[in-house]
Amino acid sequence: MKQYPEWIQEFDGNLWLTENDRDNLKISYRLKEVVFSEQSPIQHVMIVDSHDFGRMLILDGVVQTTALDGHIYNEMITHVPISLHPNPKKVLIIGGGDCGAAREAAKYEELEQIDMVEIDELVVQACKEHLQEVSGNLSDPRVNFLFTDGLKFVAGKENEYDVIIVDSSDPVGPAEQLFSYDFYANIQKALKEDGIMVCQSQSPLFHQDVLGQTQRHIADLFRHSATYKAVVPTYPGGLWSFTIGSKVHPITPENVEVRPLNTKYFNQDILTSCFSLPEFMK
Amino acid sequence: MKQYPEWIQEFDGNLWLTENDRDNLKISYRLKEVVFSEQSPIQHVMIVDSHDFGRMLILDGVVQTTALDGHIYNEMITHVPISLHPNPKKVLIIGGGDCGAAREAAKYEELEQIDMVEIDELVVQACKEHLQEVSGNLSDPRVNFLFTDGLKFVAGKENEYDVIIVDSSDPVGPAEQLFSYDFYANIQKALKEDGIMVCQSQSPLFHQDVLGQTQRHIADLFRHSATYKAVVPTYPGGLWSFTIGSKVHPITPENVEVRPLNTKYFNQDILTSCFSLPEFMK
């Protein structure tokens, strides 16, 4: 066997990936092969091909997205805010190195510019080449890749974007500041005066503290705010939350007419029903 | 260490349960302790206390329900069909050994009788004694426990129940016939002329064949049928499906007024939104 990081192990003649980020729960995936494995200046980047989920992006030993279900997360973080904006032209995506959010945003012909700020260029390279089920091998000329720190990038912006999508990883290590009040305040400034933002706000089952704090920050900074849910099978807890903030436009999904966008999860029914929350989330 | 089945292992001074039912995915839970462990004539029955999910019911090495999220499944399989029936008096639950469905049904004061047919008495005993987060230590006199084969029980019934809930385990081994056309035809006969039935129809991501077959059977046997979804964090894929069949009453959740039922997941919004399905399920 080639020399792989410790989260890849051989067992009974099979390769297995075991996620190493949780103390009390270990999930192991049987692999067909390791497709890509390299250390970037930021993190360890790996693409593997698994039996149950197809190809998967692994950062520092933790599954980020898979060919089987990556579209659910990416469609929900992208289509909900963009379809709620009546006239979106310029979109900023912070994070989203798998390129799935940019791919979904590019389905809107009225968009003129999609800036994608990702700190780790190697993630984008790996996903464009080896995870096209998620990235779609994005070659739309409206998409500008900017390989820099999203936190610093947004701090200098004012009145520039119609929609900002914060597609961060979990709030540990470098991504922790992407959940801070100051960051959301900078997002608020970077938006045009009728802008809309969205961020992933973690699992309502396992990270109620993060969800609650995010809701308070966004309710404080925006006239309108709301949390919506989606199923993300490969994230712990299955149920995932997103929180939206809007400066002017009310969050009224029932007034939006969803166009055919060649989606696999998102549709008119999902847009109106995703804001219906379980009793324990209210 | 005491002698436990092979799915319990000691590792670095901790007890771990590793589910053994899937070839390509292994999930291991760190345990505080094994609370109950016995072989019944049907299967191996175990209650463990885990760090992340609290107490869990394990049958033949596979997690069935947990203190953390068992209420989601049980509320959804129970409250949707009962609240869609305008005048329910007599309910039959097939399976549901964790007693969670019976517990939820007992919240309806207008019910006169709740028959619960479970093949394995040891499951009910274990859950009543050691898994009260799910079972609620059910002592409602309207609940009749019948420890017999649900398949045979229902075959002899005609025009008897207002609502039948099929709370089966996965369609392998003894539960396989609980997904057959003949079984649903017997359910149809056992219902009163305006009866409503529901069954769990597996994961729309991993068991599309079972879901499709169940939908066809029920659409063939009932004037009205529909599939609804819920998040079940500890089942593979997170997203779970239920399929409902109604002889007479249309399935119009928007016309139902949900009463306060002391639920943690189910509410008015969930009832109307659970029938909104993702694009790939249509």
Whole-number pLDDT of residue B73? 95
pLDDT (0 to 100) of residue A236: 66
Residue % of chain A over a pLDDT of 90: 83
Is the CB of residue B262 less than 8 Å away from at least one CB of chain A? Answer: no
Closest CA to B114 of B145, B87, B84: B145
Structure confidence by residue, pLDDT tens digits, B160-203: 999 999 998 877 776 788 889 999 999 999 999 999 999 999 98
Residue B100 has pLDDT above 70, yes or no: yes
Residue range A169-194: average pLDDT? Answer: 89
Phi, psi angle pair for B28, to nearest 5°: -120, 130
Q: Does B182 touch chain A (CB under 8 A)?
A: no
Could you say which of A51, A233, A279 has the minimum Cβ distance to residue B263?
A279
Question: Are B117 and B92 spatial neighbours (Cβ–Cβ below 8 Å)?
Answer: yes
CATH of the domain at B57: 2.30.140.10
Residue span of the structural domain in which A169 resides: 70-281
Q: Are B118 and B124 in contact (CB under 8 A)?
A: yes
Taking residues A4-26, what's their average pLDDT?
Answer: 91
Is residue A1's pLDDT more than 60?
no
pLDDT tens digits along A104-151: 999 999 999 999 999 999 999 999 999 999 999 788 999 999 999 999
CB of A25 within 8 Å of a chain B CB? The answer is: yes
The closest alpha carbon to A25, from A169, A190, A205, belongs to A205
pLDDT in tens, A52-102: 999 999 999 999 999 999 999 999 999 999 999 999 999 999 999 999 999
Is residue B1's pLDDT more than 60? no
Does any domain span residue A75? yes
- What was the pLDDT predicted at A172? 72
- Let me know if residue A192 belongs to a domain: yes
Residues B113, B236: one domain? yes
Please give the pLDDT value at position A47.
Answer: 98
Is residue B271 very low, low, confident or very high in pLDDT (cuts 50, 70, 90)?
very high
* Last residue within a domain, chosen from A64, A82, A109: A64
Domain boundary among A46, A64, A82: A64
Name the band, by pLDDT with cuts 50, 70 and 90, for residue A205: confident
ipTM computed for the complex = 0.87
Same-domain pairing of B151 and B229: yes
Stretch A28-52: mean pLDDT: 96
Q: Is residue A3 part of a domain?
A: no
Distance from CA of A190 to the nearest CA of B (A): 33
Residue A279 has its nearest CB partner, among B236, B264, B277, at B264
Residue A14 has pLDDT above 80, yes or no: yes
Do B106 and B200 lie in one domain? The reply is yes
Cross-chain residue pair B278–A270, CB shorter than 8 Å: yes
pLDDT in tens, A243-282: 999 999 999 999 999 999 999 999 999 999 999 999 988 8
Q: Are A155 and A182 in contact (CB under 8 A)?
A: no
User: Both A53 and A118 in a single domain?
Assistant: no
Task: Tell whether A1 is covered by a domain.
Answer: no
Is the same domain home to A148 and A268? yes
Residue A174 predicted with pLDDT over 70: no
pLDDT at B236 over 70: no
Average pLDDT on B246-265 reads 95
B60 and B177: one domain? Answer: no
Each residue's pLDDT tens digit, B7-20 = 999 988 999 999 97
CA neighbor of A200 nearest in space, from A237, A156, A153: A237
**Per the domain annotation, does B117 fall within a domain?**
yes
Give the pLDDT score at A237: 73
Nearest to A92 by CA among A110, A118, A72: A118
pLDDT of residue A39: 97
Model confidence band, residue A222 (pLDDT cutoffs 50, 70, 90) = very high
From chain B residues 68-97, the ones with a CB under 8 A of any chain A CB are 68-69, 72
A164 within domain boundaries:
yes
Q: What is the mean pLDDT of chain B?
A: 93
Residues B21, B93: one domain?
A: no
Residue B159 confidence class, pLDDT cut points 50, 70, 90: very high
| Catalytic site includes residue A182 | no
Residues B54, B85, single domain; the answer is no
The DSSP element (H or E) to which A143 belongs, if any, is strand A143-146
For chain A, say whether B110 makes contact (Cβ under 8 Å): no
Which of B23, B29, B235 is the closest to A24 by Cβ?
B29
**Residue B145 and residue B57 share a domain:** no
Interface contact flag, B27 A30, Cβ < 8 Å: no
Given a cut of 80, whether residue B234 has pLDDT beyond it is no
pLDDT of residue B207: 87
Whether residues B25 and A29 touch (CB distance < 8 A) is answered with yes
Total domains present in chain B: 2
Q: Do A265 and B280 touch (CB under 8 A)?
A: yes
Helix (H, G, I), strand (E, B), or coil: what is residue A49?
strand
Residue A227 pLDDT greater than 90, yes or no: yes
Pick the last residue of a domain from B29, B50, B66: B66
Q: Is A205 helix (H, G, I), strand (E, B) or coil?
A: coil
Mutate: best of A239, A266, A272, partner B, most B CBs <10 A: A239
Whether A241 is in a domain gets the answer yes
Backbone angles phi, psi at A232, to 5 degrees: -125, 95
The per-residue pLDDT for range B111-151, each reduced to its tens digit, is 999 999 999 999 999 999 999 999 997 889 999 999 999 99
Query: For position A128, which CATH number holds?
Result: 3.40.50.150
Task: Examine the pLDDT at A176 and tell me if it is beyond 90.
Answer: no
Q: Does one domain contain both B156 and B269? A: yes
Asked whether the predicted pLDDT for residue A49 surpasses 60, the reply is yes
Q: In this complex, is the C-beta atom of B63 within 8 Å of any C-beta atom belonging to chain A?
A: no
Q: Which of A167, A170, A194, A220 is catalytic?
A: A167
Contact across the interface for B269 and A277, Cβ inside 8 Å = yes
Mean pLDDT for chain A? 93
Question: With contacts defined as CB-CB under 8 Å, which chain B residues touch A238?
Answer: 231-233, 235, 237-239
Statement to judge: residues B21 and B161 lie in one domain: no
Is A32 part of any domain? yes
Does residue B54 carry a pLDDT above 60?
yes
Are both A55 and A145 inside the same structural domain? no
Three-class secondary structure of residue A238 per DSSP: coil
